[in-house]
Amino acid sequence: MLTIYSDDHRLHHGAAEFYRGRLVPCFEMPARADQVLAAVRAAGLGAVVPPDRFDRTALTRVHTDDYVAFLESAWDEWAAQGETGDALPYAWPAVDLRRDTPPQHIDGKLGFYAIDAAVPITAGTWTAARSSADCALTGARHIAGGGHSAFALCRPPGHHAGARAMGGFCYLNNAAIAAQYLRDHGAARVAVLDVDYHHGNGTQTIFYDRGDVLFASLHGDPMVEYPFFLGHADERGSGAGLGANRNFPLPWGTTGDAYLAALDAAIADIAAFAPDSLVVSLGVDTFVEDPISHFKLVAADFTAIGRRIATLGAPTLFVLEGGYAVADIGGNVAAVLTGFADG
């Protein structure tokens, strides 16, 4: 399996995030990608190549132009205020406030274009996010060209980023950008399977009213888990997309058996949709030792996830999302990919 990776991820290294009422070091750190790269190499999965550079228009197929422009200039606007630390939002257009008018001041823009405070912007965030999206796009190009599978080793992750908002460590929605690329290059139907511990709110929202991209997600129940305000089972899509959105919220403490049963249901939905290609938002924060999550999957479960995905027989692009047990993230990602390759 081809892996696409860029060292540019190192340029994004936020200092701190809120956790239980305090600022703590960011869980989403460069060492995550280093561990995954080392494990992919150790597993002998195949070649590791750098991404191609894609036009900005590949991003604005799913993100709004003003949002991408915000990401491009946010650090410079922040630094122009004399700031040297990370830019973080602190005020949002929540209930009863206006969402139709982007503010001029960078402090206002940060909140306008964010769903939470887990998105530090540093001097290198835009370069890293753009290269991360390029990894996903390069993988999509490989699949569109007839490749059987690819792994986009993306960092920062993407599935919480919506058309015009960052959130949950995500800036550009790598999986959505890749799925749209596949639609634009020969695939009539694309399925996105999201196995990250958290609901992929950004991907769901981007494709919610479309029947050409199926979104299926297994995740911690939003009644008790981030992102809290999306990801319920009754969200089934709208308009032409009615029936093309499937959520499988699962309780804290979910083990491999229950998880794999839900995965079988999601895979049956995907098989019925008969996609021309599949994008997997691959988070391994479902791992029992993940520091911010509450499922109980173990290494063998990750191999089983890969095997089950392989039963679909679809050309498949894996896109890295979350996973914060840094010592284990590489082994768990490699387990999914080898399970798929051997499946």
For position 321 contacting ligand Q9C by CB under 6 A, the verdict is yes
Of residues 116-155, those binding Zn ion (CB under 5 A): none
The site that binds Zn ion (CB under 5 A) totals a number of residues, namely: 6
222 makes contact with ligand Q9C (CB under 6 A): no
Site for Zn ion contains 198 (CB under 5 A): yes
Select the binding partner of residue 292 from Zn ion, ligand Q9C, none (C-beta < 5 to 8 A, by kind).
ligand Q9C
DSSP string, 221-270: -TTTSTT-SS--TT----GGGTTSEEEEEE-TT-BHHHHHHHHHHHHHHH
Sign for the CA dihedral angle at 297, 303, 307, 309 comes to positive
Taking the C-alpha atoms of residue 210 and residue 261, their distance in angstroms, rounded to an integer, is 27
Give the residue with the Cβ less far from ligand Q9C, 196 or 235: 196
Establish if 283 lies at the interface with ligand Q9C (CB under 6 A): yes
Backbone angles phi, psi at 244, to 5 degrees: -100, 20
- Phi and psi for 316 in degrees, rounded to 5? -130, 130
Among 292, 299, 310, 341, binds ligand Q9C (CB under 6 A): 292
Residue range at the interface with ligand Q9C (CB under 6 A); choices 13-21, 45-53, 127-135, 252-260: 13-21
How many residues touch ligand Q9C (CB under 6 A)?
17
Backbone angles phi, psi at 332, to 5 degrees: -70, -40
The CB-of-273 to ligand Q9C minimum distance in angstroms stands at 24
Measured CA to CA, the distance from residue 218 to residue 39 in angstroms comes to: 25
Q: Is 12 a catalytic residue?
A: no
- Catalytic hit among 12, 13, 160, 294: 160
Q: Closest distance between ligand Q9C and the C-beta of residue 285, in Å?
A: 5
* Residue number with the smallest Cβ distance to ligand Q9C: 322
State the Cα torsion 216-9-26-215 to the nearest 10°. -10
Among 285, 290, 301, 328, binds ligand Q9C (CB under 6 A): 285
Shortest distance, position 198 Cβ to Zn ion, whole Å: 4
**Sequence-separated (6 or more) residues with CB below 8 Å from residue 12:** 30, 122, 124, 125, 127, 128, 129, 155, 156
- 322, 330, 331, 339: residue in contact with Zn ion (rule CB under 5 A): 322
Among 10, 11, 19, 123, contact with ligand Q9C (rule: CB under 6 A): 19
Query: Helix, strand, or coil here: 49?
Result: strand
Of 51, 89, 249, 322, the one binding ligand Q9C by CB under 6 A: 322
CA 77 to mean position of chain CA atoms: 26
| Pair of tokens at residue 249 | 């919220």
Q: Alpha-carbon distance 143 to 274, whole Å?
A: 16
- In angstroms, give the least distance from the CB of 242 to Zn ion: 27
Residues 125-184 that bind ligand Q9C (CB under 6 A): 157, 160, 168-170
Residue least distant from Zn ion (Cβ): 322
Looking only at residues 284 through 313 of this chain, which bind Zn ion when binding is defined by CB under 5 A? 285
**What minimum distance in Å lies between the beta carbon of 180 and ligand Q9C?**
19
Please check whether residue 319 is in contact with residue 170, taking contact to mean a CB–CB distance below 8 angstroms: no
Dist CA 161 CA 205 (whole Å): 9
**Residue 228: CB minimum distance to ligand Q9C, A:** 10
Element (H, E) at 143: helix 125-144
Structure tokens belonging to residue 121: 């912007």
Among 70, 75, 151, 197, binds Zn ion (CB under 5 A): 197
Report the interface residues with ligand Q9C, using CB under 6 A: 17-19, 118, 157, 160, 168-170, 196, 198, 226, 283, 285, 292, 321-322
Report the interface residues with Zn ion, using CB under 5 A: 196-198, 283, 285, 322
Active site residues: 160
